Amino acid sequence: MPKKRITSQDVANLAGVSRTTVSFVLNDVKGLNIPQPTRQKVHDAANKLGYIPNAAAQALASRRTRALGLVMTRSPHYISTDAFLPQIIAGLMDVVKERKLRLLIEYVEMAHQDRAYHELARAKHIDGMILLTPRIDDNALKKLEQVDIPTVIMGEIIGTNLYSVDIDNRLAAVKAVQYLLELGHRQIACILNAPPSYSSAAARVMGYKDALISAGIPPNEKLILYADFDPQSGYDRMKSLLASQQKFTAIFIASDNIAMGAYAALHEAGMRIPEDVSVIGFDDIPWAEYGNPPLTTVRLDAQELARKACFVLTDLLNGKEVSQKRQILDTELVIRQSCTSYKHSLKGGELLQKT
Amino acid sequence: MPKKRITSQDVANLAGVSRTTVSFVLNDVKGLNIPQPTRQKVHDAANKLGYIPNAAAQALASRRTRALGLVMTRSPHYISTDAFLPQIIAGLMDVVKERKLRLLIEYVEMAHQDRAYHELARAKHIDGMILLTPRIDDNALKKLEQVDIPTVIMGEIIGTNLYSVDIDNRLAAVKAVQYLLELGHRQIACILNAPPSYSSAAARVMGYKDALISAGIPPNEKLILYADFDPQSGYDRMKSLLASQQKFTAIFIASDNIAMGAYAALHEAGMRIPEDVSVIGFDDIPWAEYGNPPLTTVRLDAQELARKACFVLTDLLNGKEVSQKRQILDTELVIRQSCTSYKHSLKGGELLQKT
DNA sequence: TCGTGTTATTAACACGAGTTAACAGTCTAA
DNA sequence: TTAGACTGTTAACTCGTGTTAATAACACGA
């Protein structure tokens, strides 16, 4: 005899009430008063039978799936090297668990964006989505705004006022560069985390330049390079920077993942950190603490950011008003051992400044 | 006028057929022949209306959700530092996408395991699950085997013959240690990836010891330490190993993530790699290639492992017979620059062997 | 006894698909 | 001409729950 499915009808029978009452009791529906004895009977019956409501049926009837989607647009290659993903998932999981929701992970190919968002919304796989994409083409953006499913963006998409959660990339970059300036550096290079078409990269260069300008130093375009998310690209950019013969005593690398590659290139070239070059990173991934030397970096708490995004999204789903369309999380400069003051860097003869 | 939901009924009306026919055509049901013109009419109507089937309704009616679950049991802290997660997700996503399924991520607290698996199965959130847990208590294990939902384990759970996908941990460890032996090392320490109650750690020590024994070297328990997943624990263990004054010229660290911490401890102690100690890792996480020096390690292709697990699972779901209950993926020794032959290590005076 | 509220409970419909079994319609063979 | 086989199509039921509108049960004062 195969185990039979247990439905709310079974619970109702055992408790001696109707299925409707069972639904009312188990969902704790407000606005009607069911006496305690009845409630107890229902709960007892449910426990005894080990009743577990069927998710699909609930979703169909209630029009909510109780699932959130984490939607990514990066290709599998980048997903697999994304140092933040575990933190983001941990953060989301945390909130999702607490609010008795589930988490769906979805990957949308860039090319199919317009159709895909629509599809997700209409198929009702999820009640809301957290969009983890640094970039989106204009065409898809329009579609995205029309999609009738609550959306929170982690990061920034210029030209839209969808809900978003982010850090102040410009300000964070300013902090980093100011720290280098305070240490006495004047020739400061910069490797960005991504091509300039990505808003985070754009904001970080801006911060870099602003900080320099405030200090009376004209930015030198030859000292600015754009990497491409993964350590390999960091390694490559650092190589070409070294090959360019441009002088610099410090470098701001707008992603620890990329700094990892850059470290390797520096080591390979026989450069000492921080004696020959001071390096400051961005993100504070686990590696940063254990690098050689430990990397000074701007901490971005991805887990907290994800939690925040999830809070906003669930509030939206529950109909609560969310006051701010755009929420900004603080960043923090974590000082370790990859930077030193410019006096010390005089040891590195070849990088010696003339004046 | 709010956009109306488009149901299969609408498609049927527009195409001038019944809803049943629509279902048959769109699902490509075999065993009945519907003439091409009719099929075309249905497809045209569906396209014109932009029909997207409602997932919940499909799930309810068909009794399959077309979703797979990635189930983890590690606490959020460990999830956030899990270097493999992105690769696993990328691998799963790849297959899932191709087979038009979805991926659900679920975190089950150790304490609630027994109930949780049952619940997942009964609520029918998912059709099958990939269990990403290195450990499970006996109680939960029994429940797990009774759960009537196809399951594939990534890793090994001793004492069960559920489907699983894994590497040969023992053999991989043997490979690593043999490599050190070939280089002439005789005093080889070992830091495990996890406590010995985790099967992967147990298998790796076994391989470590077997390799030594085959070479006529009795394992020294004082050279064996157990870390705890994250870099911090690797740092700590390496510290205590160094403090123990035990002599060793090489070390096998059964996880790159832990090797990362160990590297830091070694650097801090002023030990040079590989001149003073040869280090060999396990996993080949992105960092390994960019460490200082680049880490020689045993490559574990987590992405491929995930793909494999996903293949097995989907085959099970489709009723295909899967010949092997346990599938083993090959590992590969990746030689970089963290190991050198014992002759060279003579430079490291304090670690000099007496004979 | 009869209204009149007030609770407590439920019958009945909705949700949007998949699927079985039966129905017309056409074609072949006797 | 008719029985039988085959084709294309669909009416009707199913999946398991949420929810509204109506009913039954009960207490109370007149």
Q: Output the pLDDT for position A3.
A: 52
Chain B positions in Cβ-Cβ contact with residue A91 (cut-off 8 Å): 76, 80
| Nearest CA distance, A118 vs chain B (angstrom) | 9
- What is the rounded distance in angstroms from the CA atom of residue B200 to the CA atom of residue B342? 29
- With an 8 Å Cβ cutoff, is B292 touching chain A? yes
The sign of the CA dihedral B299, B304, B306, B309 is negative
Q: Output the pLDDT for position B347.
A: 46
Q: Please name the residue ranges forming H helices in B72-229.
A: 76-80, 85-98, 113-123, 138-146, 169-182, 199-214
Pick A56's closest partner by Cβ from B124, B263, B286.
B124
Contact B90, B303 (CB under 8 A): yes
- With an 8 Å Cβ cutoff, is B104 touching chain A? yes
Q: Please name the residue ranges forming H helices in chain A.
A: 8-15, 19-27, 36-49, 55-62, 76-80, 85-98, 113-123, 138-146, 169-182, 199-214, 231-243, 256-268, 286-290, 302-317
- Mean pLDDT is lowest, of A17-26, A288-297, B45-54, B147-156, for B147-156
Interface test with A, best of B80, B120, B127, B230 (most A CBs within 10 A): B80
Q: Output the pLDDT for position B58.
A: 96
pLDDT tens, per residue, chain B with 355 residues = 345 689 999 999 999 999 999 999 999 988 888 889 999 999 999 999 999 999 999 999 999 999 999 999 888 888 998 889 999 999 999 999 999 999 999 999 888 888 888 888 889 899 999 999 767 777 777 778 888 899 999 998 888 889 999 999 999 999 999 999 999 999 999 999 999 988 899 999 999 999 999 999 999 999 999 999 999 999 999 999 999 999 999 999 999 999 999 999 999 999 999 999 999 999 999 999 999 999 999 999 999 999 999 999 999 999 888 889 999 999 999 999 999 998 744 444 444 443 3
Which residue, among B249, B248, B252, B242, has the nearest Cα to B208 in the 3D structure?
B252
Domains and their CATH numbers in chain B: 8-62 (1.10.260.40), 67-167+302-331 (3.40.50.2300), 169-299+334-354 (3.40.50.2300)
A20 touches strand C (CB under 7 A): yes
CA angle B155, B160, B164 (to 5 degrees): 35
Contact B333, B176 (CB under 8 A): yes
Pick A86's closest partner by Cβ from B60, B86, B286.
B86
Q: Output the pLDDT for position B232.
A: 95
Entry pTM:
0.91
Burial class (CB in 10 A: 0-12, 13-18, 19+), A317: middle
Pairing of strands B296-299, B332-334: antiparallel
Chain B positions in Cβ-Cβ contact with residue A257 (cut-off 8 Å): 286
Chain A positions in Cβ-Cβ contact with residue B293 (cut-off 8 Å): 267
Token pair of B86 as six digits: 């992105």
Q: Of A93 and A343, which is predicted with more confidence?
A: A93
**Chain C: nucleotides under 7 Å from a protein CB?**
7-12, 14-20
Chain B positions in Cβ-Cβ contact with residue A291 (cut-off 8 Å): 264
Instruction: Name the band, by pLDDT with cuts 50, 70 and 90, for residue A115.
Output: confident
Find residues 118-147 of chain A whose CB sits inside 8 Å of chain B. 118-119, 122-125
CA of B214 to C1' of D9 (A): 74
CA dihedral B281, B286, B292, B298 (to 10 degrees): 20
B60 touches strand C (CB under 7 A): yes
Give tens-digit pLDDT for A183-230.
Answer: 999 999 999 999 998 889 999 999 999 999 999 999 999 999 999 999
Contact A49, A26 (CB under 8 A): no
Q: What is the DSSP string of A165-180?
A: EEE-HHHHHHHHHHHH
- Map residue A332 onto helix, strand or coil: strand
- What is the rounded distance in angstroms from the CA atom of residue B194 to the CA atom of residue B94? 29
Q: Looking at mean pLDDT, say which of A120-134, A163-177, B129-143 comes out highest.
A: A163-177
Q: How many CA atoms lie within 13 A of A247 on its CB side?
A: 12
Task: With CB atoms and an 8 Å threshold, state whether A77 touches B90.
Answer: yes
Number of A/B CB contacts below 8 angstroms equals 165
Residue with tokens 């013109």: B37
| Nearest CA distance, A86 vs chain B (angstrom) | 4
